[in-house]
Structure 1
Amino acid sequence: MATAHSGWIQRTRIGLLAVQGAAVFVAAAFVVAAIAGFIPGLTTNVDQLHWAGPASHAHLFGVFQVSVLHNLLHLVFGIAGLLLARTFARARAYLIGGGLIYLGLWVYGLIIDLAGPRNMMPLNNADNWLHLTIGVVMVLLGLTLAGTKTPTGADGEPLIPDEE
C-alpha cells in the first residue's frame, strides 16, 4: 500500500513473518560460522587448513573439522538463505529443503570412512551430529513456523485485522 505524504510515496513497513525471521537467523549463523572458520583463535590449526579432504586438521572452536571448501559451502548456504528469506514460500523452502540436505549430509557422514578419500568436506563425528541437529531444527522451523501468513508491521502489530 502506498500513501501520499509531502509529495513522496511511502510504503507501509512490513516486518518479517516468523518463518522468514527463522530463515534469516539460520542463514546468518551459517555466514558467521563460515567466516569464523578462517579466523585464528576461533579455528585451531588454521595453518593446517587445506582446500578439502581429511588432511585438513583445522577445527572450528577446536571441535568441528573444517576446510576451505567446508567454509565456502557454509558461506554460500548462508547467503542463499538470506536471499531466499525475502518471501514466505522461499524462506520455508530454504528451511525445509536445507534441513533435508543437512540430514542427508549427516547420513553421508555416517556411512563414509571419515579418514578416506570420500570425506571431501572434511567431516568428523562432531560435524555429523551437528549436521543432524541442524537438519532437524531447520525442518521443524520450516514446518512449525509456517502456520500464519498474516503480515505484521515493524513493531509486530497485525497489518490485516482479524475477521470477527
Structure 2
Amino acid sequence: MTTRTRATRGPRTPVQQAVVLVGLVFLLVGVLGFIPGVTTDYDSMKFASHDSGAELLGIFQISVLHNLVHLAIGVAGLVMARTASSARTYLLVGGAVYLILWLYGLLVGHHSSANFVPLNTADDWLHFALGIGMIALGTLLTRRSARTGLGR
C-alpha cells in the first residue's frame, strides 16, 4: 500500500498575498467589463478600437480586448503568487508595463487608430497609479526578505 502525502506550503509572504489580491481585482475588473449596467454604453463596445464607446463604471473606456487583457493579467497574478520571487517579478514587470502604457496613452491621440486598446484620460492616469503602486508593492514588500534571504 502506498501512502501519498501532500506537500505542505508555508504561509504566504506579504508580497504573495498582495499579488493574490491584485490578481483577483484584475479578474473582477475583467468580468465587470462584460456586464451591462456596470459598463455604460455596453452595446457600443468594440473588440479593439478607439471607437469603442463602452465605459466601465461610466469612466474608463474599454473594449473586449481591454477586458480580456484584464482577465489575463488577473490569471497571471494568481499563477505568479505561488512563490515570493515570481510575485515580486509580477509586480515589478507589471508596474513597468503599466507605466509604459501610461506614456503610450499620453503620446497617442485618443481618437487615433493607434489607440486600439482603447484608452481615455481616466485610463491613462489609472495606469500611472497602477504602475507606481505595483512597483512600490514589489519593492517595499520584499525589502526585508531580500536583506535576510527569506521568501525565495
TM-score by length of 1: 0.84
Rounded Cα–Cα distance in structure 1 between residues aligned with 2:110 and 2:6: 56
Shift of residue 41, structure 1, vs aligned partner: 1.2
Q: 1:31 aligns with which of 27, 45, 63?
A: 27
SS where residue 116 of structure 1 aligns? coil
Paired position in structure 2 for 1:53: 49
> Alpha carbons of 1:90 and 1:113: their partners in 2 closer, same or farther (altered >3 Å)?
same
SS where residue 51 of structure 1 aligns? coil
Q: Percent of pairs identical after alignment?
A: 45
Aligned length: 145
Shift of residue 127, structure 1, vs aligned partner: 0.1
More displaced, 31-40 or 140-149?
140-149
1 or 2, which has the higher strand percentage? 1
Shift of residue 148, structure 1, vs aligned partner: 3.8
- 1:103-141: CA deviations, max 9, x gaps? 000000000011010001000000000000000000000
Q: 1:91 aligns with which of 80, 87, 90?
A: 87
Matched, 1:133 2:148: no
Rounded Cα–Cα distance in structure 1 between residues aligned with 2:38 and 2:127: 19
SS where residue 115 of structure 1 aligns? coil
The one-letter code matched in structure 2 to 1:27 is G
- Segments of 5+ residues of structure 1 without an aligned counterpart are 1-6, 152-164
Shift of residue 147, structure 1, vs aligned partner: 2.6
SS where residue 16 of structure 1 aligns? coil
TM-score by length of 2: 0.90
Rounded Cα–Cα distance in structure 2 between residues aligned with 1:53 and 1:10: 48
Rounded Cα–Cα distance in structure 2 between residues aligned with 1:10 and 1:21: 22
Rounded Cα–Cα distance in structure 2 between residues aligned with 1:45 and 1:114: 18
Rounded Cα–Cα distance in structure 2 between residues aligned with 1:142 and 1:10: 30
SS where residue 103 of structure 1 aligns? helix
Rounded Cα–Cα distance in structure 1 between residues aligned with 2:137 and 2:18: 7
Rounded Cα–Cα distance in structure 1 between residues aligned with 2:100 and 2:125: 12
Rounded Cα–Cα distance in structure 1 between residues aligned with 2:113 and 2:9: 51
- 1:4-62: CA deviations, max 9, x gaps? xxx77465552210000111111111100000000011100111110011110000000
1 or 2, which has the higher helix percentage? 2
